[in-house]
Structure 1
Amino acid sequence: MTATPAGADRLRALIVGSGFYFPNQLPDGSSFRSLLGAAADAERVAAFVRDRLVVPADRLVVLSATATGVPDQAAPPEPSERWPTYENLVGAFTALTAAVELGDPVLIYYSGHGGRARTAYPELKEADGIDESLVPCNIGDPAARYLRDVELACLLARLVERGADLTVILDSCHSGGATRSMAPGVMVRGLARIDEGPRPTASLVGTREQLGATWRRLATPGRRAIGVETGGWLPDAAAPILLAACREVEEAKETAFDGYGHGGVLTFWLLDTLRRLDPGLTYGRLRDRLVAKVHTQFENQTPVLVGEADRPVFGGLPSLEEPAILVLKSDLANRRLLVEAGQAQELTRGTQLAIYPPGAPSIRDPEGRLGLAELAEPGASESWASLTETFGDRPIEDGALAVVIAPGPRALRRKVRLVGEGPWLAQVATALHAGGRGFVERAAEAEPAEFQVTGAGGRFTILASDGTPVPNQGPPLPTGTAEAAELVARLVHLARFRVVYQIDNPDLRSPLANKVVATVEPDGSTPGAPPSSSPVPLRVGDRFHLTIRNQSTRTLSLAVLNLQPNWRVVKLLPRDEDAFAIESGRSRSWTLVASSLPEGCHEAIDFLKVFATLRPTRFRWLELPPLGSPDRPGSRNIPHNPLEELFAALGADQLATRALLPSLSPGRDWTTATVELRLRRDAGGTA
């Protein structure tokens, strides 16, 4: 049965955050560690559902176990009836199923560890089969049970049979966690081990016959696990939506975010997208933005969507006004405003505000703004904001309204952690100080870092924050003073590449937001077929079609940058001019060829980044040669608008002291769109 979308006003939600795990040990000695961000993620999602979607309390159930980070924590601070134990999880699913009415949108959200255990259902999965599961917080108790995939499939099937318009979001992984060196503050939500120990096999979900009948009806033949990439275990596979944090061979990570605390990478960007409250947001567009944003931090974590990509999120997000913030005091002489919001609302230094007059009929219309401000001194519930720009002659008075248009700025400067011991440490530290050029610097001991460097084996290696080697980083460099300088030059290049990739317009109310759509279809695709998922799979040398649609009400000036696997950034379109134009409501298409891969690389991600502006803009400042090649001469062009000033800052030989994706980024007159291509070289290929 396919439910008719009813809109978020009828949403029901079961939100689970399993952060604290009682002491536990699997037979091989491994254990599920507590996660600092899992319960916080659940509360953030619950707050969004409760406060922004205005879902009544009786339609929202939260199970959570908070890891406080205090040594020797004995138990979660929540009451035991709200802990995510097996019994409480099954009970919550059962109550939710009984309450659901035909057409109700239903959200199931889980943040915590994913686990794997020897199957309790060999008759369904063969004797050596594996059950993938959600891991309850008390799994250390030998009598505790996993919520296994066979049971979860049955619970979800019952919701669909009741008529639920079902969305399942899993910020966890099932392929297992890492045994390699993670940067401090980066954790994996899963284990790379299979629990071979004895566990109770009796299920509270149903009899073995009931569970077996549902599994045989739903599961893809031959599957032995959940299968987040195929959704083979989902009930009525065309009806529910599954959004998973990563592919089956990848890991779901949590880390610390500036001004946010610990949280899952998927959940952070999920909420960042949903808070835009775009009524036209579809699951496909949500997935594409999540992939792009998650890949800015962890290229080997790719969110997966199973289900109809063109369906509206939660049956259709409501068109709500952004909550207004009261201006308590207007100190125009010192160009500052005291606003009634602060850390309690998760506002951080640098948060961008648009100011409207008291009683403004709409705080979504950019034309009604009196000015812009930037949070300078955040307090607990009141904060001072610096007035950065005013529009027109009307003064900003006490009682004016402020609305958040962009979160606090992101640092351009990238942190580098040195891992290991030896004389090379001093060599790299000195080189970072002398040659970091403001783009990279050494991380403090407990500070999150985007890159790691090791000198193991007498040669330098650059690692990502999760401990995986950065791909295509050039010929090996032996440890040494001269080589340390070359290593830092590579780090500067990587930092600049990452920043170019991350550029977007954070103004949530820009009239161009989400108005430029870029799609890629391989040559020979069926006309009218749904757009390919992101990243779009292509072989080196394949022809493909890039289409850009202008859904705004204005003619736009556009350019396309190609961010290549060899860490090169080049303007792809147009080749000879600064930009090309697309009129309102029109589209343009090009036939292109998938670029080559670096030598020795058999698969990599290639990015097409579309910039759209209302005024002609130049992009040469952003171009980079391949990693390891001599830097191109700096552009001598003089920037003529704030966006070009940002590009010029990124292209400068030395990054300015105030190293932020700055307040000049928010604006009404530009936007971006990104398409990812997963390029693969055929075995024996030479391209």
Structure 2
Amino acid sequence: MPNRWALLIGVDFYFPGNAREVQFNHLSGCVRDVDRIEQYLRGIGVHNIERLTSSNVGKANEPGETDGGTYPTYHNIEEKLDGIRGTVEEGDLVYIHYSGHGILRHELKDLDDEDGDAITGTALALADVMAGGAYLTGYQLGVWARRLVEVNKVRVSITLDCCYSGRGHRGPGIVLRTSEDSEFDGVPLESDKAADAAAVAVEAELPEPDTDDDEPAPGQRNATVKRSWLSSPEGCTVLTACQVNEKAGEYRFEGQQGRNGILTHWMLDLFDRHAGACRPTYARLAQHAKSSMRTAMSLDRPQTPVLHGDSFYEFFGTSRLIQRPACIVRVSKQPGSLDTQLTVDVGTAQGVAKGAVYTVYPPSWDLSLPEGQQQAPGSRPHSRNDGVAAPKVRVDKPSVFTSSAIPIEAENIQQDMAIVMGSLAVLDTWSLSKTWRVGVESTGEEHLAQDQRFRATVEDLVKEITAIPEFSLHSRISTGGSPACEFLVSLNRNTRSIEICDGRGARLHRVPAVPIDDEGAVAKVAYMLKHLSRYKALANLDYGRPPDSLATDSYRFELLDRHGQALQPATTDKTYHVENGQAVTVRFANQSTTENVQVAMFMFNATWGIERIYPEDGQPTAQAVPSDTQALLCGLDMYIPPPAHTDDPPDIYDLIRAYIYVGDHPPSWDELLLPDVPPDADLLPVDLPVEPVLEEDLGGGSDDDTRNKKPKRPSRKPHKVTAAIDPWNMLEFRVHTRPSK
């Protein structure tokens, strides 16, 4: 078992001084954060714990601590980390927790494409910064963490419970953890320059990175703004309390003797709920903190925790887990009634229609799997409460980003599985937004009479399709006909297989045929029909189109080549043309003047899968600030997947879409996720894997047969919504990938 090491930093007291143009007020909850985190760590068997704290005990010029070697200063932090670095062994775990003030070292408008994140350009305001001590910048901390990861071969995780901007609404009872008289300090002291030079020297000795992504464009890079390795680390996880333009603070929570950092408190709250079970992932910690700030604290403008790096590792552990998308359940009393109303935080914008079914789990349950282990359809997550049936709810009235739901068999819900505020809802069965017409085509009555297996297969297909509520069976026709339907199921006599075609009878690209003699043939065809319908419904926005309240002319969404130069799409249909294996970059720029927007980018790929390509796993959206030079960038390698049948074309088309949201409660778009359809019918499931599990492998295989490379990162009308909603919209383009010349 690896050894675990922790460095806990809490800054309540700030030494007075006028060395800087900004001032920092004392805080009161940071040392308490350290105390509570230390207590938790010791409870899970961590004994190698270092502390650096400055307590505010009412003294004018000094903290409660008397040993200067324990003050949270730049040099003391460097010394403690050097001590850990000299002691750790390969495979060990290192955790760093900081609670205190933070500040921007550069105005947001001065950062470029390479610096648009929640770490670069920021600094931790340590106890002696007003007296001339150095800030600890995100760049410097990143160099130290990278050295631990790449040289010492340890895994590092970092929590930063601070913020960098004091602007905006100040919530009741909240003390901000940043300077309130200036949002940035761009004047470096000699101590800052020396600290930066030392970090540059350390970085120069580290292994060369494998990519040239951080090479500056000539004449375009501000030489004083260095990119933090923590912005996109490997072997490391970083959880920050908020985005760079938001506030983080400390608050007096019920049951606590004083204030605590809001992020730290909700982290510990989830740890308590997981007592006796495996520890939650960093992604789950961020989700719990975000939802608790909204539901339990009712903040008008809650913090949005930001994750970087390996979000699906368990906290302070070595296990990487597969996280299942889950949405939060809110419970409220109906006016004038004793009945409660259930609301799930997902709606039509994310592909929800009336009739969708969700399984609901208590907030403490672990909705994850060890990496490499698959979740069987309909099975339940791990929990210390295994053996207890989880309740289900059915969506009754979908809205844009929320949906009301009603319990299924409410009288059978056991008390310890009661649906409460903050419960987790996981998709069980989706509902399509319209009726899909499906035809079944055979090769003639004479052949059916001669081949009993064929006749039985046709009968079973008709029965199976008829049983699916969203499907309308089209009458069977003879070969050569043209049914008025979206899908045509064709039985091929020559190959003795079942093929899925479009309404004109042409085989769908990269959809495998299912042998008639396959024991689960009919179930596999039904699975593919449901999967293909879901894909097309989401691609065509059948669940509901964006409102007109958010114009898209202030945003730029484009494809760049490997050198950062804009490619030119076809003028007729906005399709980019690239070659197999070509490296490209997807770029989103917010060219408005005032509004931040939240963005998530998805690829609707040629193998009928929907994958989120940006931001990284565990972070549902990324913030794009108003700046044409501070864009969101996602690198992709474009590859043509192997064919599923001989009629597959040599080229492919992928759809890349950016979902854009303006408001204080950015949604998760992970409900859109769909796995790829495998190229071999043997790899098809016989039931719908309703949980779109992140990173689940439907069929295994080597890297050589990967279908799509991941990023280097009469119908029912859609529900009409009349209530006021936060505006959202989308931009998209297609990418045509051709064989290399």
TM range (shorter): 0.3 to 0.5
Question: TM-score by structure 1 length?
Answer: 0.47
Larger radius of gyration: 2
Question: TM-score by structure 2 length?
Answer: 0.44
